[in-house]
Chain A
Amino acid sequence: MTELVRSYGRPLTAIFIGLTTLWILGMILVPQLFMAERSFWVEEKPNDISLKIDRAYADLSTMKFDLARAEGPGKDEIAGRIEAKKREIAGLEEQEKQPRKVYTMRNYTRMSALHFQIFLRTIFYAAMVTVLALVVCYPVAYAIAQVATPRRAAFLMLGLIIPYAINELLRVYAWLMILDYQGVLNTMLDWIGVTDLATQQWIPFLQSPGAVFVAMVYAYILFMVFPIYNTLETLDKNQVEAARDLGASTWRIHWRVVIPYAKPGMAVGCIMTFMLSAGSYSVPQIMTRGTSGDWFSQTIYRQFFESNNWNNGAAYAFTLLIVCTLFIFLMMLVFRVGVRDIAR
């Protein structure tokens, strides 16, 4: 820090530290802590209070009965007791209106079988998207970074940047049009006689989770290409030439030279693709057109904005966060890379 002070002085350094602290605490850590905290309690309207209130009302009517029959100084005493009882009832009723905050794991343990199934399926499909994207993108990144001439590489990069920069929703929407009941795919199948659109004999692609899967691969595949490309771009072409010169087969060159070099990029690509797929709300929302909630992100959304059960939603969101965090550590382990290599 003394270095910062020397260059920019105390006031500016204080501003830098202040802003960073605000960012870390006010925008990253504390909001997530609030979310986590919220997932660990439920609001409870305690049963015993209503019991107590019932009993107090019973006591009150007994007293009123006594009051009606009492005479002399005893009457004032009973009237006093009735007032006290009324105050007690008012207090209890006030308590009943304010539900009690009870810390519990119930938001996690009460996840229904259906929700749990959705959760597992989401994680499974996200992992599949990641693996498929890795396999498909590695040759693309290699071809652009290592094989293409600089001019051609610039042109190919353009071809990657354009779809990457187009909004995720619109990219998914394009697939909705392809897989729709009277979409491009069904029409083509109609031509070869597999389906018959005139009699509504089409294949309902959109009703299977496969449709979401296909669109997800398309939506997030470029997040795998760029990190791998960025690392492979810095690989000295002579290394590949040298390996070839020493008689290594294409397979061996990739296994021993190129892939080890690309590992940080592959780790980043896998983390990004998995995280985006597992947490994607847009893709399932568009492909299912909001009619079914087959994906975990949709389930979370419903907890917040349809069931109005924020605590349960927070628990689901926190679960997703933990899975994604574990996945990051898993990738760092698998590819043997450090924190600093990630998100370059």
Chain B
Amino acid sequence: MHGKDVELQGVSMVFGDVVAVAPTDLTIRAGEFFSILGPSGCGKTTILRMISGFLTPSAGRILIGGEDMGDIGPNRRPTALIFQNLALFPLMSVWENIAFGLEARGMPKKARRERAMELIDLVALRGHEEKRTGDLSGGQRQRVAIARALAVEPAVLLLDEPLSALDAKLRQHMRAELKAIQRKTGVTFIYITHDQGEALTMSDRIAVMNKGAVEQVAASDRLYDDPQTPFVATFVGEQNVFAGRVIEAEAGFALLDTPFGPLRGRNRDGLAAGASAVLCVRPERMQLVNGALPDNVISADVERRDLEGPFVNLFLKRNEESIVLHLPNRGAAGRELSGEQQIGFSADDGLVLTSGRLARD
């Protein structure tokens, strides 16, 4: 099996007067584990259905392996889709499900069964091949769906939130398994999810979507540390957001006037003085000031302390604006924290972005 690249050129989708997907350009490389991440209703499933051929784009072209898919129906595209509810055929056995795509290609029954058994081994379902899919557990059903999709040797595997029906523990396990299968087969995976944990752990690259538009495409680390827009910054992981106006812009950094006083952060986008902006700082990049003063120092009152386990969420407040810190759990040492505290962060850990819509709005 070899993956192919998928290219969206100005693809858009309009239902009536609702724009589900704004004109989008996107290139997914061959053999890549690519995720599309976004809140529900952001258009990610629409993109998936357009790539698989169940929806025809209102405008634009979709190319797979350089070939225009314009007139090619879903049954002749080199893609396979794993449905959110898996859509296993209830009246067929496990191996018949897996061999269905081969049957459609006219492969004789004996060869079909052999090939199905190989895949059954790949997804570790040996011994279940004659069962009806209704008699399997959630994880096993998941594996049947994967094997069924892989059986047709697709160049591109499309996955529509396939883990959402599983419980948390099984979901963790299936992440690793999916990643391993992708490595082993070299097939291009396009994975749709609203769960950022899934996207960050499995993907080579992630596209973040909001309201029908792709806001950023990047590898996990880049996405987390260098978000392009306030939406991406706040949708992926947690952020402390300080809104304000740029009062001083210099080489690489900018000073913002915020309700907590002037704060300095990276000015990657070169905002000029007077621009309306937000300063984003991750909760785990802030510390309690203890001795040496960092670039930015803020005073706020401790409101609440929540134990997460390995770390502690510390909520502070000043002038109706709240701040959250993730502090490593050091046992008894931090338990008595209260009253006004000095907190600080380095200017390298703050990112100044042009004001825009946040994920929590």
Q: Do chains A and B touch in the complex (CB under 8 A)?
A: yes
Interface of A with B (CB < 8 Å)?
6
Task: State the Cβ distance, B212 to closest chain A Cβ, in Å.
Answer: 22
Classify the secondary structure of A's interface with B: helix
Contacts of A6 in B (CB 8 A): 54, 73-74
Interface residues on B, range: under 10
Q: Which residue of A lies closest to B55 (CB)?
A: A6
A6 and B54 CA atoms in complex are apart in Å by 8
Task: State the Cβ distance, B151 to closest chain A Cβ, in Å.
Answer: 21
Task: State the Cβ distance, B254 to closest chain A Cβ, in Å.
Answer: 52
Question: When A and B form their complex, what is the total count of cross-chain residue pairs whose Cβ atoms lie within 8 Å?
Answer: 3
A6 and B73 CA atoms in complex are apart in Å by 8
Task: State the Cβ distance, A11 to closest chain B Cβ, in Å.
Answer: 14
A6 and B75 CA atoms in complex are apart in Å by 10
A36 and B73 CA atoms in complex are apart in Å by 47
Q: Which residue of B lies closest to A3 (CB)?
A: B54
Task: State the Cβ distance, B58 to closest chain A Cβ, in Å.
Answer: 14
Q: Which residue of B lies closest to A5 (CB)?
A: B73
Contact with A along B36-75 (1 / 0, CB 8 A): 0000000000000000001000000000000000000110
Task: State the Cβ distance, B4 to closest chain A Cβ, in Å.
Answer: 23
A206 and B54 CA atoms in complex are apart in Å by 67
Task: State the Cβ distance, B41 to closest chain A Cβ, in Å.
Answer: 22
A6 and B56 CA atoms in complex are apart in Å by 11
Q: Can you spell out 3 A-B residue pairs with CB atoms less than 8 angstroms apart? A: A6-B54, A6-B73, A6-B74
Q: Which residue of A lies closest to B73 (CB)?
A: A6
Which residues of chain B from 185 to 241 have any CB-CB distance to chain A below 8 Å in the complex? none
Contact with A along B67-96 (1 / 0, CB 8 A): 000000110000000000000000000000
Contacts of B74 in A (CB 8 A): 6
Task: State the Cβ distance, A84 to closest chain B Cβ, in Å.
Answer: 73
A94 and B27 CA atoms in complex are apart in Å by 84
Contacts of B73 in A (CB 8 A): 6
Q: Which residue of B lies closest to A2 (CB)?
A: B56
Q: Which residue of B lies closest to A9 (CB)?
A: B73
Contacts of B54 in A (CB 8 A): 6
Q: 3 closest Cβ contacts across the A-B interface?
A: A6-B54, A6-B73, A6-B74
A6 and B74 CA atoms in complex are apart in Å by 9
A6 and B76 CA atoms in complex are apart in Å by 12
Task: State the Cβ distance, A2 to closest chain B Cβ, in Å.
Answer: 9
A150 and B73 CA atoms in complex are apart in Å by 49
A104 and B54 CA atoms in complex are apart in Å by 57
A6 and B72 CA atoms in complex are apart in Å by 12
Task: State the Cβ distance, B77 to closest chain A Cβ, in Å.
Answer: 13
Task: State the Cβ distance, A306 to closest chain B Cβ, in Å.
Answer: 56
Task: State the Cβ distance, B16 to closest chain A Cβ, in Å.
Answer: 15
Task: State the Cβ distance, A8 to closest chain B Cβ, in Å.
Answer: 12
A115 and B54 CA atoms in complex are apart in Å by 62
Which residues of chain B from 265 to 310 have any CB-CB distance to chain A below 8 Å in the complex? none
Task: State the Cβ distance, B337 to closest chain A Cβ, in Å.
Answer: 51
Task: State the Cβ distance, A97 to closest chain B Cβ, in Å.
Answer: 64
A341 and B54 CA atoms in complex are apart in Å by 32
A191 and B73 CA atoms in complex are apart in Å by 82
Task: State the Cβ distance, A148 to closest chain B Cβ, in Å.
Answer: 32
A335 and B74 CA atoms in complex are apart in Å by 47
Task: State the Cβ distance, A12 to closest chain B Cβ, in Å.
Answer: 14
